[in-house]
């Protein structure tokens, strides 16, 4: 069966809540592209516009005044490559997610969940997020999800780290492995759309066939609740 064209997920919804433009593409772009291609309505939320990022292009062509708008444009282009249906910003200043009023943030995300009614929510693990903004948006989204109380919650992970879940205190049952092989071209296009961030990654700009070899076939997710899904699917 050609799952790409089957639109088997028509009417289903996925909400991904992240901190910065590029989180969605670099970490789980293959999964977003896969489910969008299968018919799911994918919404990406970026808490910030990444305006405090250290990478300003190579050679640098952005500054602190221009970077927010540039990264927003890049994120919109990346979302187009991935087939994302809608993009929202929380308009939080980059590198300050952990310092804003948490209760208010949880309330905003919960309201979004009631509006969108997602079947699947993706966000960062509050301890394994790897960056204070990631952990903070993951913690708030997890709290919002618990209040919302419907659907399935998953935490993203980086690269192949969850091939060995025991290192992080998880059993293999807690991990979902999504095969994104058919969607790596879309993921690579999304990497390239985030030009000011990916220009310093030489492999991204190699010939397509070479560049694609740097992207893993699987993306891994940690179950955030007791949802009944298989080992290879978030839905």
Tokens representing 101 are 């009023």
Q: What's the closest the beta carbon of residue 131 comes to Zn ion, in angstroms?
A: 6
Q: Which of residues 159-178 bind Zn ion (CB under 5 A)?
A: none
Q: Tell me which residues in 17-36 interact with Zn ion (CB under 5 A).
A: 19-20, 23
Residue closer to Zn ion (CB basis): 148 or 221? 221
How many residues interact with Zn ion (rule CB under 5 A)? 3
**Least distance (Å) between residue 232 CB and Zn ion:** 26
| Nearest distance from C-beta of residue 130 to Zn ion, angstroms | 8
Closest separation between CB of residue 74 and Zn ion, Å?
13
Smaller CB distance to Zn ion: residue 50 or 151? Answer: 50
Whether omega for the bond prior to residue 59 falls within 30 degrees of 0, making it cis, is yes
Closest residue to Zn ion in the complex (CB): 20
Of residues 28 and 37, the one with the C-beta less far from Zn ion: 28
> Rounded to the nearest 5°, which phi and psi values hold at 210?
-75, -45
Sheet of 120-124, strands arranged across:
86-89, 41-46, 13-18, 120-124, 152-156, 218-223, 175-179
Angle, CA 102 vertex, CA 74 and CA 29 arms, to 5°: 30
Sequence-ordered list of residues with C-beta below 8 angstroms from that of 158, at least 6 positions apart, any chain: 27, 130
Residues that bind Zn ion (CB under 5 A): 19-20, 23
């Amino acid at each position: 069966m050609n799952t790409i064209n089957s639109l088997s997920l028509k009417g289903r919804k996925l909400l991904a809540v992240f901190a910065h433009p590029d989180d969605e593409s670099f970490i789980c772009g293959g999964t977003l592209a896969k489910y969008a291609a299968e018919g799911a309505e994918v919404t990406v939320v970026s808490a910030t516009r990444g305006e405090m990022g250290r990478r300003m292009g190579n050679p640098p062509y952005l500054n602190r005044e221009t970077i927010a708008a540039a990264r927003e444009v890049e994120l919109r282009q990346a979302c187009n490559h991935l087939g994302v249906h809608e993009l929202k910003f929380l308009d939080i200043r980059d590198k300050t997610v952990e310092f804003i009023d948490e209760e208010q943030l949880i309330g905003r995300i919960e309201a979004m969940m009631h509006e969108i009614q997602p079947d699947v929510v993706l966000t960062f693990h509050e301890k394994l997020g790897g960056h204070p903004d990631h952990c903070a948006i993951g913690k708030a989204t997890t709290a919002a999800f618990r209040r919302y109380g419907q659907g399935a919650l998953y935490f993203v992970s980086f690269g192949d780290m969850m091939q060995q879940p025991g290192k992080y205190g998880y059993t293999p049952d807690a991990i979902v492995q999504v095969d994104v092989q058919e969607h790596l071209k879309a993921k690579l296009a999304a990497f390239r759309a985030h030009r000011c961030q990916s220009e310093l990654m030489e492999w991204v700009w190699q010939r397509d066939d070479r560049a694609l070899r740097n992207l893993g076939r699987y993306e891994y997710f940690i179950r955030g609740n007791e949802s009944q899904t298989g080992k290879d699917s978030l839905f």
